[in-house]
Each structure stands twice: as C-alpha cells, then as structure tokens.
Copies of this chain bind each other. A is one copy, B any other.
C-alpha cells in the first residue's frame, strides 16, 4: 500500500525499452560509458530514454550491491543556538562534491536514562548502525559515551567536533577536530583587562565537556600576566555531577546557579566588575537574568564569552569566534579520509582562530 506512488522505473525497464542489456544501461547511467567503450550514440539514446521514463536510481539497491552507503551521520547536542547550522554547512560543502550525504541528528533525549520525548538512545544508535552509515561526526555529550563506544566497536569511525569530553576513557580510538580555544580565550580576557576592568570573574557550569578546563586556565593565566588578581569570590563554577546531567534537573540547577550568581553581583560589595563566561549559551542565560534584575551592562558589570553564536550577536555579547564552519569542513574531510583508509584512527586536529567581536556587553 504505497499510496499513489508511481510504479518505480528500474534499470531493467530502461533496458527493455531500449532493447539492450541491463549491463550497458547501468554503465551508461553511472557515467562509465566512455571508460567501457560504449558508443556515444548508444549512451545518448539510453540517457534520453531514462530521462523520458523518469528514472530515479534506487540508492538502497546500489548501496547493498556496493557495500557502501555514502551516508555520514552528524550528531549535534541540539539544533538550538545556530551552532548546528554552521557546522553542518561546512560539512555539506566538503561532502557534497564527493558524493557523500550528511544526515543531521539531535542528541536531545539520547542521553542515558533520559526518558523524555524523542527517539531513545538505542533507537538512534541502531538506526545509524543498521543503515550502515560510513562515519559519525559528533559534537560529544557526556551522557552518550556508551553510544560512541558502540560505533567504535562496530568499526564505524567517530569524529568528535568542537570539544571533547572531560573523561575520554574508552574513547581513545575517536578522532577529533576541535578548536584550540585557549589562545582565543586569552584574547577575550585580555580585552576585558585592557578595557580597564579590575575585578574580572569567571562563570561556567560544566557538563563533562572539556572546554571549561582550558578556558579557565586562559582566564587565570591572563589575569596573572596582566598583574590582576583572581578573586575566589568572583569565580562562579558549577560542576554538575554525572547523575544530574539530564535535561530537566540540569536546567533547574543551572537556573538556580545563575540566580545565585546574579544576586551576588547585585548585592555583594566584592562583586566582579566583569565576567568571562564559558560560552555564549551560558552568557546569554546570565545576561538575561542580569537584565531581569535591572543591572546595567556593561556599566555595573561587563560580560564576554566564547563562540560567536547567533545569540551573541542578537544580545550584543562580546565573544571570540569559534571556527564552526572550518571545524565542519575539516571534520568532513577527515571522515572521508578515514573511510577511504587514507588516514588511520585516531587522527586529532586542532583549529586555530583568535578572532574576537566586541559588542555592547563590554
């Protein structure tokens, strides 16, 4: 019962109509006519008939026969924040001309134990495995480690994009393409220093992604190099334990941590006059709460962060530009090389980019 779907035209149908063998039709249609030595006239005639009959090759049949599907899965944390769009664009740019099809998936609801809406972990993993996708490009989340291992066990190359997990145990075989963000983080913190802020703080909530570590280092080092002090009371760091990383609990924890932080900024006499925030997503949440409290930005408190996602532009946040497009491009190329055996896992690449955009938050 396939609705009103038209009868499928196959290579065989074309062959019959052209009174010629399937073999020849297949060679022509897959562009190998010249190579095989098929008469141009024949090739032209076959192509015309195929077009006229509305032939659409069946990629399932082709994949089955060729034992390769040309599909590469791309797993994002989620589609929010416009990050996915930009990475995916880079991926498509590279993959399209090489005949690979990237497929985007959101990992929301894919974490262990999360029972929320959406496909379960195993459902998404299985569909990738069963579909015989040739590689997995992935923005890693701490809750899906087992899934990543599952891909590796099946021999599917996994390439992490953007950042790594704090705990990469068991994922040593993963390749990655990440932003070498420490220098950029130093540029941003230095900008706050140069703008004259004296009590510069740090804000992050961490979910087992590694970027917190190097950005905090950059923060500390830059202050020290600038002769400024790191005040403990200006460092707002919340490490969310593994078992509380599911969306709902996490959301609450982050919200209340933001509220605490804003209360401190508003009331404390030793509050910071500027804060370097882990990333744009968190900075936007913080800024939102600061607005709600009517605290003047940047007069009372300046903010700067990392990423340059859409939200940073829209909210006027000073931030360093994460080279998302390039990460996508490099990761896609790496996937192709791993698939073809030109590279051997694990391959690890760093992308450098220190660009910064100054906006009205600082």
Q: Which residues of A contact B (CB under 8 A)?
A: 1-6, 54, 56-61, 63-64, 67-69, 78-82, 84-85, 88-90, 92-93, 96, 101, 103-106, 108-109, 117-120, 123, 126-127, 129-132, 154-157, 284-285, 288, 291-292, 310-311, 313-316, 338-341, 345, 360
Chain B min CB distance to A99 (Å): 9
What chain B residues lie within 8 Å of A80 (beta carbons)? 82, 85, 310
Among A67, A79, A82, A131, find the residue whose CB has the most chain B CB atoms closer than 10 A.
A79
Is B96 a contact partner of A291 (Cβ separation < 8 A)?
Answer: no
Is A284 a contact partner of B314 (Cβ separation < 8 A)?
Answer: yes
Assembled-state Cα–Cα distance A288/B109 (Å) = 33
What chain B residues lie within 8 Å of A118 (beta carbons)? 89, 92-93, 96
This chain's copy number in the assembly? 2
Chain B min CB distance to A106 (Å): 6
Question: Which residue of chain B lies nearest to A70 when distances are taken between CB atoms in the complex?
Answer: B127
What chain B residues lie within 8 Å of A338 (beta carbons)? 3
Closest 9 CB pairs of A and B: A5-B155, A80-B82, A79-B85, A59-B130, A92-B118, A96-B119, A79-B79, A93-B117, A79-B84
Is A108 a contact partner of B79 (Cβ separation < 8 A)?
Answer: no
Is A341 a contact partner of B3 (Cβ separation < 8 A)?
Answer: yes
- Residue in B60, B120, B288 whose beta carbon sits within 8 Å of that of A131 in the complex: B60
What chain B residues lie within 8 Å of A288 (beta carbons)? 313-314, 316
Chain B min CB distance to A107 (Å): 11
Chain B min CB distance to A163 (Å): 19
Among A3, A6, A54, A292, find the residue whose CB has the most chain B CB atoms closer than 10 A.
A3
**Contact A154:B6 (CB < 8 A) given known A79-B85, A316-B288:** yes
Assembled-state Cα–Cα distance A60/B62 (Å) = 9
Is A2 a contact partner of B68 (Cβ separation < 8 A)?
Answer: yes
Is B3 a contact partner of A157 (Cβ separation < 8 A)?
Answer: yes
- Residue in B2, B4, B60, B154 whose beta carbon sits within 8 Å of that of A63 in the complex: B60
- Residue in B56, B130, B345 whose beta carbon sits within 8 Å of that of A58 in the complex: B130
Extra contacts, 6 of them, besides A101-B127, A311-B314 (Cβ < 8 A), are A2-B67, A56-B126, A61-B64, A79-B82, A80-B85, A311-B311
Listed A/B pairs (25) with beta-carbon separation below 8 Å? A1-B340, A5-B156, A6-B155, A56-B126, A56-B129, A60-B64, A60-B131, A60-B132, A61-B64, A78-B85, A79-B79, A79-B84, A79-B85, A79-B88, A80-B310, A89-B106, A89-B109, A92-B118, A93-B117, A93-B118, A96-B118, A104-B105, A285-B314, A314-B315, A315-B315
What chain B residues lie within 8 Å of A64 (beta carbons)? 58, 60-61, 64
**Contact A59:B132 (CB < 8 A) given known A103-B103, A104-B79:** yes
What chain B residues lie within 8 Å of A345 (beta carbons)? 3-4
Question: Which residue of chain B lies nearest to A74 when distances are taken between CB atoms in the complex?
Answer: B104
What chain B residues lie within 8 Å of A56 (beta carbons)? 126, 129-130, 154
**Contact A92:B67 (CB < 8 A) given known A5-B155, A316-B291:** no
Question: Which residue of chain B lies nearest to A120 when distances are taken between CB atoms in the complex?
Answer: B96
Chain B min CB distance to A308 (Å): 13
What chain B residues lie within 8 Å of A89 (beta carbons)? 106, 108-109, 117-118
Assembled-state Cα–Cα distance A56/B127 (Å) = 10
